[in-house]
A and B are shown apart, each in its own frame.
Chain A
Amino acid sequence: MNPAFSVIFLTTLIGAGQGLFLALFGAELAGFGGQAEAERGFLVNGGIVVVGLTGLGLLCSFFHLGRPERAWRTATMWRTSWLSREVIALPLFGGGAFCWTVAHATGSGGTLAIGLLTVLACAGLFICTAMVYASVRFLQEWASAFTLVNYALLGLASGCTLATALAAWGAPGLVPGFGAAALVFTAAAWLSRALSLARNARLKPKSTLQSAIGIRHPQIAQRAMGFMGGSFNTREFFHGKSALALRQVKWGFLLTAFVLPLGLLTLGLAQGSAAALGLAFGVQYLGLLAERWFFFAQANHPQNLYYQVIS
């Protein structure tokens, strides 16, 4: 597939937002932010970041649409379409996080109840976002439980890293807890992404040129795709980069999304360096952009069988 940057930013931004909210709410469940004004202030600031990331992600998603003015229609087919369900879950989560933040800011109480509902929306959003891709059975690289696990773990990892960096400035008492969570989720995401890479490397395409045109002969070659200019089919479904570039992006994201953040987190936690923790999130987010680009680029659509040779 040809990676769409609107979708890359959407999925990585909301993933980090979801992970951050879960970290903040986890801290609240652990008794943080009860009475002290400064602690509540940290949760409010964190909540603003969550709402900001989610809103930014939502904004990015509009750039993917040909007709953004009709976006309201997308909520209608939730019975059959995971994309429609994601469109419902996203504002539910963002709205929940907003209410939770406002409740903390005004001290109106009920933050636990609002937070629990938002956690449900957050889990729903993780599932919907991943299922948008995992439910396309023609893209065998995506059609796996790994897609779901990876989206959740990568979101949790980046969110917890961001929470650690924020805590280093706003609530140093939370740094060890958030830091441990960030280390665990980053390591788990590394493992699960590596397993999914291994799975995808072993995939055998279900469709062949033989089944595509229905001729049983071991040797079939396309001689013309029917036109000499480009078309939607030649643009949308192939990334247009070399195999070498793809490999470089793969090793690049394995390094920047997992290895470097783990190192920087360890360094930041050991030395109490807020800068290292902030850098850890920055590096990891860039790595996740590359990871998402690779996720799209690696998916090989069977329609490409019909578009191999210009003439």
Chain B
Amino acid sequence: MTQLALVIDLNVCVGCHACVTSCKQWNTSGSAGPLVDDQPYGKDPTGTFFNRVQTFEVGEFPNTQTVHFPKSCLHCEDPPCVPVCPTGASYKRAEDGIVLVDYDKCIGCKYCSWACPYGAREFDEERKVMSKCTLCVDRVTSKTLPEAERKPACVLACPSNARLFGDVHDPASVVSVAIRDRGGYPLMPEWNTRPANHYLPRRRHDAVVHAEDLVRVDNPLKIDGKQPEAPQQGPGREDYAT
């Protein structure tokens, strides 16, 4: 069984919102019709997006980390939003595990959004139906797009390759390997929704720079006498066997 999903690497996400805009661009231009943008240039703009990038500050100054956190539907393996739908408009595709809304069946009661702890669903005020990330189902199952472009728009747009896409049930897929090798984790595991999307944690990079490494011993300018010679140094780090 296939379960398509995204794996988002928080370690390299730079918070540029390219995934947000590319998602909006692709999904507002599709056959399902435009995603609403109410008063985009007015005083109180609002609109429907399938993907958002949020920013969190972890720690206390000066020991802080800025974490950019892209959030879209997690395509849960046990999606709580699906069984509550009174019309069956919310469903999980058996063939690839994508959670979708049938816009022609949705009555806009918003009950599914109450049953999602992640706030992944956004009501479309113009179409009056619930909408959500489709994992670009029209792209990933396309027969006409070039093979390399059969990925969600957000994945293709990410400049730092923070978004990986694949089948998390295939142990050899790029997403499964990333989850396994780089400590991928799900959001809010306490609710047992088993999100298919995973996040890769931040990693600390400690680069220790020693003072003597900043001075180039064999600087030709100094050997040629064009710059003053460096003062005689004592034994450096390399002079001691470790």
Contact = CB atoms under 8 A, between A and B. Distances in A.
Interface of A: 1, 64-68, 70-71, 73-77, 80-84, 87, 132, 135-139, 206-207, 209, 211-215, 217, 219-233, 236-237, 301-304, 306-307
Contact of B129 (A66, A135, A212, A301): A66
A1 B54 CA distance: 22
B48 interface: yes
A80 B188 CA distance: 23
A213 B53 CA distance: 12
Interface in B146-189: 185-189
Given A73-B105, A213-B67, A135 B84 contact: yes
A215 B67 contact: yes
10 contacts: A64-B110, A66-B123, A74-B109, A83-B84, A136-B84, A136-B115, A206-B191, A211-B190, A213-B187, A222-B57
Given A223-B55, A229-B44, A229-B46, A77 B85 contact: yes
Interface residues of B, number: 61
Contacts of A302: 117-118, 188
Contact of A232 (B44, B60, B113): B113
A213 to B, nearest CB: 5
B34 interface: no
B58 A215 contact: yes
Contacts of A70: 87, 105-107
Nearest to A139: B114
A281 B89 CA distance: 40
Given A212-B188, A301-B117, 18 more contacts: A66-B106, A66-B110, A70-B87, A70-B105, A70-B107, A73-B89, A74-B109, A80-B82, A82-B84, A136-B114, A137-B80, A206-B191, A212-B187, A213-B67, A219-B59, A227-B49, A229-B47, A232-B113
Given A214-B199, A230-B44, A303-B119, A67 B83 contact: no
Interface of B: 17, 20, 44-49, 52-60, 66-67, 69, 71, 80, 82-89, 105-111, 113-119, 121-123, 125, 127-129, 185-191, 199, 201-202
A74 B57 contact: no
Given A226-B54, A227-B52, A306-B119, A64 B84 contact: no
Contacts of B17: 226
Given A232-B113, A236-B113, A74 B56 contact: no
Contacts of B45: 228-229
A222 B56 CA distance: 4
Contacts of B109: 64-66, 74, 83
Nearest to A135: B84
Nearest to A235: B46
A223 B57 contact: yes
B132 to A, nearest CB: 11
Contact of A73 (B57, B107, B122): B107
A220 B57 contact: yes
Contact of A80 (B49, B59, B83, B108): B83
B83 A81 contact: yes
Nearest to B114: A136
Contacts of B190: 206-207, 211
B114 A214 contact: no
Contact of A215 (B47, B55, B80, B202): B202
B54 A77 contact: no
